[in-house]
Amino acid sequence: MSRPDVMTTSILVIGSGPGGCVSGTLLAEAGHDVLMVEEGEHLSLDAAPHFSREEMLRKYRNGGVSVALGRHKLAWVEGRCVGGGSEVNRGLYRRTPDYVLESWRKDFGVDNIGTHSMKAHFTACEEIARVEYVPGTPSEMSQRLQRGAQALGWQSTEAPRLFSYDPDGNGGRRQSMSETFVRRFLQHGGRLHARTRIDRLRRVSGAWIATGTTKDAAGRSQPIEIRSERVFVACGAVQTPALLRRSGITHNVGNSLRFHPMVKVVAEFDRDVNAAGDLDPVHQIKEFEPSFGMGCSISKRPMLGVALSDRHGAWDLVQERSRRMGIYYVQTTGGSATVRNLPGFSDPLVRIGFTADDLHVLGTGLRKLCEGLRAADAVRVIPCVAGYADVASKRGVEFMPSSLDSSDGSVTSVHVFSSCPMGENERRTATNSFGKVHGADGLYIADASLLCTPTVVNPQGTVMGVAHRNVLDAIERRFG
Amino acid sequence: MDALVDTLAMEVCPTASAADRTVVCRYVRDTVEVMPDYLRLGFCWLAVMFDWWSLPLRGGRFHRLDQAQRQAQVGAWRTSRLGFRRSMIAFYATFTAFGLYSQVQDDDGIETDKVAA
Ligand SMILES: Cc1cc2nc3c(=O)[nH]c(=O)nc-3n(C[C@H](O)[C@H](O)[C@H](O)COP(=O)(O)OP(=O)(O)OC[C@H]3O[C@@H](n4cnc5c(N)ncnc54)[C@H](O)[C@@H]3O)c2cc1C
């Protein structure tokens, strides 16, 4: 192996997702010497069509293949490029509900957290990465969900997005990190190294030494060593605990990974709801939160094809009726997982378990979703769960199992968090209330790992708000 | 592995052209190449096992069988009592379907042939 490239910086930020970008930008703005490294490539939003094969291969971790194993399974996806998950997600935006922050305060001892104290942090992030509502009427597929909710007297909402809509409502641009915070970070003198993965951290003579590899455009690897006074780890909720554990930091690290487990259905309507070029759907049903929430998924033909891949004749069905179909989901907060490194392998193993109650909530949520879509005049609802029959009548809902069997791969997630919770309750947490790792000088966590529990709502707003809050605190205290 | 993806692609859309199926095979191969390393190792073993499984039963390795025999073997693994066999077929079926629909039925046509895969 060749000799490592050696670099020095005052502050190293590892990972450039929403947590890393918000932290890095504020640190650079405060005049610090900041180097942000990112394992994936630095690509523009337009480098690959959204939700395409090319995007999966270039911007997702492991090509979009991540599976939590155990008696039950859960498949999830994460971004792996400059901007992390914000580059591949839809940017549906919700601030953290009050009751979630309150439970963090009560159960994990997080100091000074609440809707009031978080407001300024949310607002500041929303000014940089703009959050907007659809200017005109949302897509028909989206409105269908709302109509179903209204017919049943359920509470629903139109979620805004991290998106800058064109005034005519015909398009716009996602407000991903590469479009917003990364630019600001660079403008303020921050240095960004993409294709650079950190494998280990160690403390030597009062400084942190990060070792890993960097790749050139042709994919050739070169070892690197970065020396810094302070490190902000923001590799996302799975890779952060993996990196810390490889580095010997294990106290409450990687023991409590959580997801928003999700099950999908395809609803077929008697008229078109899903035209090419429609804006992404935005309605969500809030009635059953915090137990479960419901919403609309991207319903392009490849997604419909995958959702219906168990069905005989799916190809013709999609060919003929994709415009009348939409994919909808129900998502809960159940299940808990661990993150562990396996000797000889670089990808961490995630093991998940669901309680009977978790599976019951998923089963109940799935029934309610079918009920809501039937109330929205869906002629039939097709659960994307092996062995489940189509629901084409009220009785069909009654026949659905009350509990879900998650061993067949039907449970997925796009939200991961809580693997290194923050707070003063050292029995449950990996860091203090502001992300400083217990017992480690100059080491901070700055991503979704810190969120003590699932957010119930879309999490990116919380990841950004918490990172904003924590890094301002660190700057104010001069990292003391 | 290519033979399995090709068989699954024919199952999804019997009229898919050989050229389209080749692109899908490459896409799935690329995905397997970047999947988590410990899973990849398991999948490589499974692929070998899957290929040889038909030898005592059908007199040839999977990639040498005709389409009907291949489909029979895929069907047997899909409904096997062993979870790892079902999971393997489910994995390949999902990515084959995604690859094929993206190739042939994309809504706006912009993705077709985009992936040099
Ligand atoms: C498909 C999809 C859809 C989603 N939809 C929404 C939505 O609509 N609304 C919402 O609020 N949220 C959504 N999310 C979730 C949201 O994107 C995440 O909550 C958010 O990105 C988490 O930010 P993070 O900073 O914790 O980590 P990430 O965004 O995961 O970023 C971590 C970064 O660190 C890098 N990294 C990891 N390890 C290393 C290492 N060792 N060295 C160097 N770099 C490393 C990774 O490559 C990655 O780029 C979605 C996510 C996905 C994947």
| pLDDT, tens only, B72-98 | 999 999 999 998 899 999 999 999 999
User: Is B76 within a domain?
Assistant: yes
Q: Which fold has domain A54-78+133-174+261-413?
A: Cholesterol Oxidase; domain 2 (3.30.410)
pLDDT at A364 over 50: yes
Phi, psi dihedrals of residue A409, rounded to the nearest 5°: 85, 10
Report yes or no for ipTM above 0.90. yes
* Secondary structure tally for chain A: helices H, strands E: 12, 23
DSSP conformational letter for A47:
G
A243 lines ligand 1 (CB under 6 A): yes
State how far the Cα of A468 lies from the Cα of A111, in Å rounded to an integer.
Answer: 15
pLDDT of res. B111: 39
- Specify the higher pLDDT residue, A395 or A243: A243
Tell me the average pLDDT of chain A: 96
| Nearest atom, ligand 1, residue A459 CA | 11
Q: Taking CA atoms, what residue in B is nearest to A57?
A: B31
State how far the Cα of A4 lies from the Cα of B20, in Å rounded to an integer.
Answer: 44
> What is the Å distance from ligand 1's center to A190 Cα?
20
> What is the Å distance from ligand 1's center to B52 Cα?
40
Tell whether B108 lies on the interface with A, counting CB pairs under 8 A.
yes
User: Is B113 within a domain?
Assistant: no
pLDDT at A277 over 90: no
Contact A300 B90 (CB under 8 A): no
User: Is B89 within a domain?
Assistant: yes
User: Is B12 within a domain?
Assistant: yes
Q: A2 pLDDT band (50/70/90 cuts)?
A: confident
Q: Long-range contacts made by residues A170-176, C-beta under 8 angstroms, separation at least 24?
A: A171/A279, A172/A132, A172/A279, A173/A45, A174/A45, A174/A50, A174/A91, A175/A91, A175/A129, A175/A130, A175/A131, A176/A45, A176/A83, A176/A86, A176/A87, A176/A91, A176/A129
State how far the Cα of A316 lies from the Cα of A295, in Å rounded to an integer.
Answer: 26
User: Is B16 within a domain?
Assistant: yes
DSSP conformational letter for A460:
H
Are A328 and A295 contacting, i.e. CB atoms less than 8 angstroms apart?
A: yes
A465 lines ligand 1 (CB under 6 A): no
Among A450, A463, A471, the mutation site with the greatest number of ligand 1 atoms within 8 A of its Cβ is A463
Mean pLDDT across A113-134: 96
pLDDT of res. B2: 93
Contact B90 A318 (CB under 8 A): no
Among A201, A414, A418, A456, the mutation site with the greatest number of ligand 1 atoms within 8 A of its Cβ is A414
pLDDT at B18 over 70: yes
Task: Give contacts of B110 with chain A, Cβ < 8 Å.
Answer: 49
Tell whether B10 lies on the interface with A, counting CB pairs under 8 A.
no
State how far the Cα of A433 lies from the Cα of A430, in Å rounded to an integer.
Answer: 10
pLDDT at B13 over 80: yes
Q: What percentage of chain A has pLDDT greater than the value 90? A: 91
In chain A, where the domains are located = 1-42+81-130+175-254+419-480, 54-78+133-174+261-413
Q: Taking CA atoms, what residue in A is nearest to B24?
A: A53
Q: Which residue has the tokens 């978080």?
A: A118
pLDDT at B112 over 50: no
Q: pLDDT by residue (tens digit) across A170-221?
A: 889 999 999 999 999 999 999 999 999 999 999 999 999 999 999 998 989 9
Q: Taking CA atoms, what residue in B is nearest to A47?
A: B114
User: Is B91 within a domain?
Assistant: yes
What CATH code is assigned to A1-42+81-130+175-254+419-480? 3.50.50.60
Domain residues for the domain of B6 are 2-108
Number of Cβ pairs < 8 A linking chain A and chain B: 99
Number of domains comprising chain B: 1
User: Is B79 within a domain?
Assistant: yes
